[in-house]
């Protein structure tokens, strides 16, 4: 039982950055824009968070800075995709390549400096004695709690409010939404910016909580795994939570297997998350071969008012 709790705790801690990035991606893709820049946004969020924390030591300022830089990059992506109607795939790729390069450039001077204990934990001592639940929930940090709240809020927002209905309308059928009086372009801008901020927060969380030193390219493909998670989660925040923790568990399982003294070289254990991503996507593709994938129907097509569909 103890091992089980430990694995859950480890899965939550390594799954939370993935969860933030997936939630941000869901928000963006629900509005009909493909978001492939997650890797670059996470890296930028992480490097800015590291720099701000080392200079100020203020957690709130650190999180705001990480969100701000990714919001700026989000505006650029929105300008490309919404205003210029450029290819959303290439714009996302450019964001990733630029973010990777710029974060390596900015982070050169702070590489290897530890950022320990930046995020305070919520110690629920009264919960400690409850079996299983106590072990899991009594010592989580505030960002993890924030991610729980965010999942519920986003789920209610998307499925239970009229604004959420508008969001789904923008992503599924922008001409109809436009006729309804929803300003498609402005809302797409808004959702891209908010979603990008969440992805930047994911980078900050990765740096502050999960691996507290800046290393060049430290996300190691987590941004891309988050892109895949959006598909696993079928654009649904609640499912995103479980998918993110599943991948978080995969991330830590290699480490666990090493601890029990397995003969398998660590390089192969580190491949697990990447290979499982591909296998799960293949499984989903096979299972859903005759079903809609659940993706927003206008995902990837820019909306032009004058153009008929």
Partner 1 sequence: MSKQPVPSTLAIEQPDTASRRSKLLSFRIELDPSRKESPWWMTIVSVLLALIFCGIFIAANGMNPITVYSKMITGAFGTTFGITETLVKSIPLLLCGIGVAIAYRISVWNIGAEGQFLAGAMAATAVTVYWPNLPVYLAIPAMVAAGIIGGGIWGLLTAIPRTYFQVNELITSLMLNYVALLALNYFVFGPWKDPKGFNFPGTPVFTEAQSLPLFGDTRLHLGLVFAIVCVLLYAFLMKYTRWGYELRLIGANPEAAKNAGIKISRHILLVMLISGGMAGLAGMAEVSGVTHRLMYGISPGYGYTAIIVAWLAKLNPVGLVISSFLFGGLIVGGFSVQTIGLPSSISSMIQGAILFFLIAGNMASKFRIRRQG
Query: Closest approach of Cβ 60 to partner 1, in Å?
Result: 24
Q: How far apart are CA 27 and CA 269, in angstroms?
A: 32
Q: Cβ(9)–Cβ(66) under 8 Å?
A: no
Residue 255 interacts with partner 1 (CB under 8 A)? Answer: no
Q: Cβ(36)–Cβ(95) under 8 Å?
A: yes
Residue 253 interacts with partner 1 (CB under 8 A)? Answer: no
231 CB neighbour count, 10 Å cutoff: 20
**Interior angle at CA 181, CA 179 and CA 183, nearest 5:** 105
The mark string for 87-126 relative to partner 1 (x by CB under 8 A, - otherwise) is x-xxx-xxxxxxxxxx-xxx-x------------------
Query: Closest approach of Cβ 233 to partner 1, in Å?
Result: 14
**Stretch 23-82 residues interacting with partner 1 (CB under 8 A):** 36, 40, 76, 79-80
Interface stretch with partner 1, choices 3-11, 55-63, 85-93, 159-167 (CB under 8 A): 85-93
Identity of the residue, 158 or 231, whose beta carbon is nearer to partner 1 in the bound complex? 231
**Stretch 184-243 residues interacting with partner 1 (CB under 8 A):** 216, 220-221, 224-225, 227-228, 231
Residue 180 interacts with partner 1 (CB under 8 A)? Answer: no
Residue 274 interacts with partner 1 (CB under 8 A)? Answer: yes
Q: Cβ(87)–Cβ(300) under 8 Å?
A: no
Identity of the residue, 207 or 228, whose beta carbon is nearer to partner 1 in the bound complex? 228
Residue 110: C-alpha distances to residues 51, 54, 107, 128, 276 (Å): 7, 9, 5, 38, 33
78 CB neighbour count, 10 Å cutoff: 24
């Amino acid at each position: 039982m103890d091992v089980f709790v430990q694995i859950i705790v480890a899965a939550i801690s390594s799954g939370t950055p993935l969860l933030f990035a997936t939630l941000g991606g869901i928000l963006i893709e629900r509005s009909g824009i493909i978001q492939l820049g997650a890797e670059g946004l996470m890296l930028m969020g992480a490097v800015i968070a590291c720099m701000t924390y080392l200079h100020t030591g203020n957690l709130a300022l650190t999180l705001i800075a990480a969100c701000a830089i990714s919001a700026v990059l989000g505006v650029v992506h929105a300008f490309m995709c919404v205003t210029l109607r450029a290819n959303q795939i290439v714009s996302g790729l450019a964001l990733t390549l630029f973010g990777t390069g710029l974060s390596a450039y900015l982070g050169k001077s702070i590489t290897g400096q530890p950022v320990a204990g930046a995020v305070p934990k919520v110690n629920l001592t009264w919960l400690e004695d409850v079996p299983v639940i106590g072990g899991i929930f009594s010592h989580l940090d505030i960002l993890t709690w924030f991610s729980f709240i965010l999942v519920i809020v986003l789920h209610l927002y998307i499925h239970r409010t009229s604004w959420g209905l508008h969001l789904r309308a923008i992503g599924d059928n922008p001409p109809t939404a436009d006729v309804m009086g929803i300003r498609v372009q402005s809302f797409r801008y808004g959702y891209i910016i908010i979603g990008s901020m969440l992805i930047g927060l994911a980078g900050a969380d990765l740096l502050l909580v999960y691996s507290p030193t800046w290393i060049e390219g430290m996300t190691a493909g987590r941004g891309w795994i988050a892109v895949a998670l959006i598909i696993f989660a079928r654009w649904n925040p609640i499912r995103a939570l479980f998918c993110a923790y599943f991948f978080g568990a995969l991330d830590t399982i290699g480490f666990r297997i090493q601890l029990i003294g397995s003969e398998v070289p660590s390089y192969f254990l580190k491949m697990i998350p990447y290979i499982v991503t591909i296998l799960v996507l293949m499984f989903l593709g096979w299972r859903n071969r005759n079903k809609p994938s659940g993706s927003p129907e206008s995902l990837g097509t820019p909306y032009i008012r004058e153009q008929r569909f």
